[in-house]
Structure 1
Amino acid sequence: MRTIPAAMPEVPATADTAPPEAALQAARLAARLRDASPLEILSTAREAYGARIAAVSSFGTESAVLLHMIAQVDRSLPVLFLDTGHMFAETLAYRDTLVERLGLTDVRTLSPDPQARAARDPDDALWSEDPDACCALRKVEPLARAIAPFSAWINGRKRYQAETRAHIPAVEFEDGRVKFNPLAALGPAEIAGWMRAHDLPEHPLKAFGFASIGCMPCTSRVRPGEDPRAGRWRGRAKTECGIHVHKPGS
């Protein structure tokens, strides 16, 4: 596992610079993979994009399922993990456990730019004052730098997790890249069943009522009957960190 220097030059691709063929390719794949299994989607993604695709994982409560599937397809597929500086210690330990258990060989830990962090969040309190700005500094910008060389990426979002995710397709085109959502159609029972069938370790905080885990200051336990992401940025209108926010024209 390696850590990516935070000060890499930021050259994110955009919808304006991406060739039109990329969007057409995404549409063709979306139609082809509409009813495909997660493993079929992952295999097709790796075959179609080779070294030009990466996965992004939070190493949260359900991350083991996607990572286990990736390990079955190709253990060397790059996996990007954002260490914001506010992560639970349990998440960092869980990352290390899964990497060793699954034999993943290219997990890259990303960090916010230290100069930007010192200038914009010197007291590490930006999360309480402006959580959108905090997420931009600690998540969106580091990921934009790291994902710049890739044409496509894989994530673990599912439709059941929240109303804002209820209609995500298996494949989409966003911000100049093809985006694969191989677990989109899976429900909680299927996720739990895969975990049991393959004896995958649970995130240590799941036993304490945490259903979706992000940064420590902005994550709380989920109450009975709430959707899995109800504990993220509780009390605010915010529902996403900004990584999965679709932008007009993309």
Structure 2
Amino acid sequence: MNALATPFTADPAADHLPAAEELARSLADAKPSEIIAAALRTVGRDKLALVSSFGTESAALLKVMADVDPAIPVIFLDTGWIFEETLAYRDTLIKTLGLRDVRSIKPAQEALKQKDPDGDLWFSDPDACCRIRKVEPLARALKPFSAWINGRKRFQGGLRAAIPVVEQDDVRLKFNPFAQAARAEIEAIYKSADLPPHPLVAAGFLSVGCMPCTSRTEAGEDARAGRWRGRAKTECGIHITKTA
């Protein structure tokens, strides 16, 4: 399915978006590409963004999106603590997939100066660190958009175990094209498209975030076990859904 065959323009009714529950029901059995195409039809390209960490499973969603429309804006949160390998992987995938609009968003310098002048907030208060380096920058980056796409999956467990295909996130619709995908489906996309793996996977990192809060995953552990190891924290905060 290729949405490029049908030009998408901003929906004049975008201020009156359909209910997330209604969309979730209509897309309950849809493929990831169909969910992305539906998001485009709902709000138009100018009002839709995909948020990607360019992590260990990100290439699959980006590939599906590129097949639908490679000009959908992609937001990448460059927190200042990103692995060099991730930054290189971002650049590789941009070229490999022909992504046309990738926006690297950084934290506000004034916020860093006031709240994390020594760069050690990740240790004393990781929630506050995520807030100024990820949550606040994403809120700023999403202001022009009416909907966004992300790559969470139910098989990742925790707060993600029951995510719907579409949900309401404050004033925006949030599309989860891989919500009901199995791990084997993600692996199949990598294989069929010959997608390059994240450079850190071979070193034992099965889920990659910021350097201070990411560790290798041991045999038998969940893929996200290396994130915020030793803490009760399991999410950075950008996926704590708010309702309108």
Q: Give the alignment's TM-score, normalised by structure 1.
A: 0.89
Residue in structure 2 matching 1:116, options 111, 129, 139: 111
Partner of residue 101 from structure 1, selected from 96, 101, 111: 96
Letter in 2 for 1:43: A
> Deviation of residue 162 (structure 1)?
2.1
Residues of 2 paired with 1:31 and 1:184: CA distance? 13
Q: Hey, which bits of structure 1, 4+ residues long, moved more than 4 A?
A: none
Residue among 81, 84, 108 paired with 2:79: 84
Q: Distance in 2 between matches of 1:71 and 1:225?
A: 33
Given that 1:154 and 1:182 are in contact with CA atoms closer than 8 Å, whether structure 2 keeps it comes out as yes
- Three-state SS of the structure 1 residue aligned to 2:144 is coil
Instruction: State the AA in 1 paired with 2:32.
Output: P
Residue deviations 1:167-222 (CA, integer Å, cap 9, x gap): 11111111111000001111221111110111000000011111111000000111
Residue in structure 1 matched with residue 31 of structure 2 by the alignment = 37
Shift of 1:25: 2.7
Quote the offset at 1:115 in angstroms: 1.0
Task: Report if aligned partners of 2:168, 2:241 keep a CA contact under 8 Å in 1.
Answer: no
Range 94-103 or range 188-197, more displaced: 188-197
Q: Distance in 2 between matches of 1:145 and 1:174?
A: 14
Cα distance between partner residues in 2 of 1:227 and 1:40 = 29
Secondary structure in 2 aligned to 1:65?
A: helix
Q: TM-score, normalised by structure 2?
A: 0.91
Runs of 5+ unmatched residues, structure 1: 1-17
State which drifts further: 219-228 or 96-105.
219-228
Q: Distance in 1 between matches of 2:214 and 2:111?
A: 24
> Displacement, 1:163?
2.3
Give the equivalent residue in structure 2 for 1:225. 220
**Secondary structure of the structure 2 residue equivalent to 1:81:** strand
Question: How far did 1:107 drift?
Answer: 0.2
Q: Which runs of 5+ in 2 are unaligned?
A: 1-13
Q: Secondary structure at the match of 1:179?
A: strand
Greater alpha carbon shift after TM alignment, 162-171 vs 51-60: 162-171
One-letter amino acid matched to 2:102 = V
The CA deviation at 1:48 is 1.4
Instruction: Indicate if the aligned counterparts of 1:162 and 1:227 stay in contact, CA closer than 8 A.
Output: no
> Is the partner of 2:19 in helix, strand or coil?
helix
Matches of 2:222 and 2:87 in 1, distance apart? 24
2:85 aligned partner, one-letter code? E
Q: Which residue, out of 58, 66, 71, partners 1:71?
A: 66
Q: Distance in 2 between matches of 1:111 and 1:204?
A: 23
Is the Cα–Cα contact under 8 Å of residues 213 and 228 in structure 2 kept in the other structure?
yes
Tell me the residue number matched to 1:54. Answer: 49
Question: Aligned AA for 1:210?
Answer: F
The 1-side partners of 2:209 and 2:39 are apart by 26
* Identity %, equivalent residues: 60
The CA distance in 2 between the partners of 1:163 and 1:80, in whole Å, is 24
Are 1:125 and 2:120 matched, yes or no? yes
Q: Equivalents in 2 of 1:224, 1:186: separation in Å? A: 23
Total equivalences in the alignment: 230
Give 1:117 deviation, angstroms: 0.5
